[in-house]
């Protein structure tokens, strides 16, 4: 008898949220999504673990040949691409029910933008040609051709059945309704994927949680598998991702750490070692850390929550700076010089966005509440409250400076993605700012972003603000593909993303300088035979100096599109626009000339020099620092 139809899909389309249940099955015993775990249970199940895999390597080793990654989104696609790139001997297949997304991964038109992804995907997905290049001044190295070992498919069941390791990289959003709505993680997609894996995975397969999940989700996975396949053996691992949009490829190639959680049984440790061997192809063993399942699951939530906490903390201080005349940049620098604190994530602004920080804090809050730790829950809730308050405070400040009304005024929002160097708009602070400003009835809100497709922004604004929000339907919002058109005749410009394009002075940030500098030449190589990472660095270096993305002539032919492909036409426009957007900074003199008087810029990301803007006759109000008052010529 054939298995029932699958409901597995992409991280955005795994299951129809309008019809799927949102509460996990009550038969699952341990998940805090359902009810608190007793402390003595935790004591019995979380025995101490040795941190380094170098110390615990039980034999025999598990032989891995095929890996299946379920979910072709922001985590699954890049993670599988890097794994395949660094492990030519493995076959890695990314599966998804979303045929359109899979087709995009198989074509020139990738479904997401991530710096550095393209050359890695081209080698792993399409294979590579043999080539030669100089190792040093005279030596030549011959590089053999590579066969493709990264594949994309909609045949979920078949690919799962062939895999030695199954990575689960699906979306785990916050519940929209039911018990724990607005805090708990919606496990509907995770349950659907787990059932699919339970029905089709082969005996002895290793199941790996890549998605961010509530603590004790491994029990849900194990229990589901036991129900459907009670006589087979599976090991469940936790391997949380620590990727940041815009730097995901760097995070994968040069991770701070790789966390692998497993059971303390010999089979559990053996499975952890098998996954560690995959990472060890490019990650030093000292950075591959093992722990128990629950610690691994919790570590992702805690890491993101701690980073978000730093942002809310410095933003709370920015309000004090504005009242007493201090400069938040000076305060951040002084505090960051303390080696116990460090300087990262101390940049004041209009708050954090993205798919992770808010969701993971809410999950941590719900966990604390489930365990009866209300004071802990209240503490982390306040991190989110400060984040929301900072955005509201910023919007009110804009209205106040514009004489208390936005009526008959055009406003320009520069930046729609939640951060620089990404097209990811999830939980974007820009959207929340636009919502606040709409309530005061401006005549127009112009929106421009260097990396987001204007058509995508329009679709999202319709979805979140209603069909009548856009100008084409009689609303005030207009999305532009050109920054100067967006700024023309505006009464105020509002910067909501920290893009280099919007700066009027060179950035001192590590990220910005990293993007602008020519990558270092990795030659001479460490060993006679260079690693894939070294070859990639050489190609990136040569591409920056020679202006060719295929500087080593290594890429095989890319899949061809049909004649008249609409995506090709759209991509040509994107390449032209993005090339201009990435290489050119705004001419603020030109922008200022076309602003309505008095000329206002509200810098929500601290990218402008107030003095230089004042010289152009522009009033700048920033976060946590002295504004325009007394500085105009």
Active site residues: 356
Contact 453/574 with Cβ under 8 angstroms?
yes
Determine if residue 177 is labeled as part of a ligand binding site.
Answer: no
Beta bridge partners of 95: 70, 153
Asked if the peptide bond before residue 60 counts as cis, ω within 30 degrees of 0, the response is yes
Determine if residue 202 is labeled as part of a ligand binding site.
Answer: no
Determine if residue 359 is labeled as part of a ligand binding site.
Answer: yes
Beta bridge partners of 470: 477
Beta bridge partners of 66: 91
SS3 563: coil
Rounded CA gap, 399 and 595, in Å?
17
Asked if the peptide bond before residue 253 counts as cis, ω within 30 degrees of 0, the response is no
Rounded CA gap, 436 and 391, in Å?
9
Contact 172/189 with Cβ under 8 angstroms?
yes
Cα angle, residue 511 at apex, residues 508 and 517 outer, rounded to 5° = 80
Determine if residue 279 is labeled as part of a ligand binding site.
Answer: no
Cα torsion angle, 81, 114, 302, 224, sign: negative
Contact 297/215 with Cβ under 8 angstroms?
yes
> Residues 318, 319, 320, 321: what is their CA dihedral angle, to the nearest 10 degrees?
50
Contact 600/618 with Cβ under 8 angstroms?
yes
Determine if residue 73 is labeled as part of a ligand binding site.
Answer: no
* Inter-helix orientation angle 454-465/429-438, to 10°: 60
* Whole-number CA gyration radius for the chain: 26
DSSP assignment, residue 234?
Answer: -
Distances in whole angstroms, Cα of residue 113 to Cα of each of 393, 451, 452, 498: 32, 8, 9, 17
Rounded CA gap, 503 and 162, in Å?
50
Rounded CA gap, 432 and 427, in Å?
8
Rounded CA gap, 30 and 28, in Å?
6
- What's the farthest any 2 CA atoms get from each other in the chain? 82
Q: Which residues are CB-contacts of 562 (< 8 A; sequence separation ≥ 6)?
A: none
Determine if residue 346 is labeled as part of a ligand binding site.
Answer: yes
Determine if residue 347 is labeled as part of a ligand binding site.
Answer: yes
Which H or E element spans position 620? strand 618-622
Determine if residue 96 is labeled as part of a ligand binding site.
Answer: yes
**Residue 466 neighbours by CB distance under 10 Å:** 11
Tokens of 615: 């010289």
Asked if the peptide bond before residue 524 counts as cis, ω within 30 degrees of 0, the response is yes
Tokens of 597: 């008087």
Determine if residue 172 is labeled as part of a ligand binding site.
Answer: yes
Determine if residue 247 is labeled as part of a ligand binding site.
Answer: no
Determine if residue 336 is labeled as part of a ligand binding site.
Answer: no
Determine if residue 409 is labeled as part of a ligand binding site.
Answer: no
The b-or-e profile of 75-112 (16+ CB within 10 A means b, else e) is bbbbbbbbbbbbbbebbbbbbbbbeebbebbebebbbb
Q: Which residues are CB-contacts of 590 (< 8 A; sequence separation ≥ 6)?
A: 484
Contact 193/171 with Cβ under 8 angstroms?
no
Tokens of 198: 């339970």
Could you list the residues known to form a binding site for NAD(+), using ranges: 96, 101, 172, 212, 359, 426
Annotated binding site: 96, 101, 172, 212, 300, 345-349, 353, 359, 419, 426
> Binding-site residues for substrate, please?
300, 345-349, 353, 419
């Amino acid at each position: 008898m054939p298995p029932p139809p699958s409901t597995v899909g992409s991280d955005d389309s795994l299951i129809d949220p309008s019809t799927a249940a949102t509460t996990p099955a009550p038969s699952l015993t341990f998940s805090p999504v359902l009810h608190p775990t007793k402390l003595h249970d935790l004591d019995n199940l979380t025995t101490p673990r040795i941190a380094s895999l170098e110390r615990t390597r039980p034999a025999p080793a598990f032989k891995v040949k095929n890996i299946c990654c379920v979910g072709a989104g922001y985590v699954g696609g890049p993670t599988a691409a890097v794994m395949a790139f660094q492990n030519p001997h493995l076959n890695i297949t990314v599966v998804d029910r979303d045929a359109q997304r899979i087709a995009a991964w198989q074509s020139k038109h990738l479904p997401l933008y991530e710096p550095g992804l393209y050359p890695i995907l081209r080698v792993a997905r399409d294979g590579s040609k043999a080539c030669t290049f100089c190792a040093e001044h005279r030596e030549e190295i011959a590089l053999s051709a590579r066969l493709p070992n990264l594949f994309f498919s909609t045949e979920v069941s078949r690919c799962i059945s062939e895999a030695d390791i199954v990575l689960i990289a699906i979306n785990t959003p916050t519940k929209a309704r039911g018990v724990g709505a607005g805090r708990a993680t919606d496990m509907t997609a995770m349950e659907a994927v787990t059932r699919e894996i339970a029905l089709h995975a082969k005996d002895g397969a290793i199941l790996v949680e890549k998605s961010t999940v509530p603590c004790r989700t491994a029990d849900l996975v194990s229990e589901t598998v036991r129900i459907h396949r009670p006589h087979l053996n599976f090991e469940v691992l936790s391997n949380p991702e620590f990727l940041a949009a815009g730097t995901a490829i760097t995070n994968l190639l040069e991770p701070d750490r790789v966390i692998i959680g497993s059971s303390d049984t010999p089979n559990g440790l053996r499975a952890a070692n098998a996954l560690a061997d995959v990472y060890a192809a490019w990650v030093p063993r000292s950075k591959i850390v093992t722990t128990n399942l629950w610690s691994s699951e919790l570590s992702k939530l805690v890491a993101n929550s701690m980073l978000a906490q730093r942002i809310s903390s410095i933003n709370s201080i920015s309000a004090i700076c504005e009242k007493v005349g201090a400069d938040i940049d000076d305060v951040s620098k002084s505090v960051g010089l303390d080696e116990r604190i460090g300087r990262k994530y101390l940049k004041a602004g209009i708050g954090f966005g993205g798919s992770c920080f808010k969701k993971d804090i809410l999950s941590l809050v719900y966990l604390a509440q489930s365990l009866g730790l209300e004071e802990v829950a209240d503490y982390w809730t306040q991190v989110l409250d400060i984040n929301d308050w900072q955005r509201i405070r910023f919007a009110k400040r804009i209205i106040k400076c514009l004489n208390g009304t936005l009526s008959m005024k055009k406003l320009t929002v520069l930046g729609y993605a939640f951060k620089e160097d990404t097209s990811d708009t999830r939980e974007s602070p820009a959207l929340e700012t636009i919502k606040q400003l709409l309530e005061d009835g401006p005549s127009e809100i112009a929106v421009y972003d260097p990396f987001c497709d204007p058509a995508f922004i329009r679709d999202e604004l319709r979805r979140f603000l209603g069909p009548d929000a856009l100008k084409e339907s009689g609303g005030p919002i207009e999305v532009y593909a050109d920054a100067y058109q967006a700024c023309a005749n505006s009464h105020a410009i509002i910067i909501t993303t920290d893009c280099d394009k919007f700066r009027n002075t060179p950035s001192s940030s590590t990220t910005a300088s990293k993007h602008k500098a020519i990558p270092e030449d990795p030659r001479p190589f460490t060993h006679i035979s260079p690693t894939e990472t070294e070859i990639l660095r050489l190609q990136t270096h040569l591409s920056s100096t020679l202006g060719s993305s295929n500087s080593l002539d290594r890429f095989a032919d890319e899949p061809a599109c049909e004649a008249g492909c609409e995506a090709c036409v759209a991509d040509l426009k994107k390449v032209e626009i993005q090339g201009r957007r990435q290489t050119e900074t705004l001419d603020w003199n030109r922008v200022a000339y076309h602003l309505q008087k008095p000329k206002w810029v509200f810098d929500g990301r601290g990218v402008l020099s107030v003095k230089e803007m004042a010289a152009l006759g522009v009033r700048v109000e920033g976060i946590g620092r002295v504004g325009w008052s007394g500085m105009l010529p």
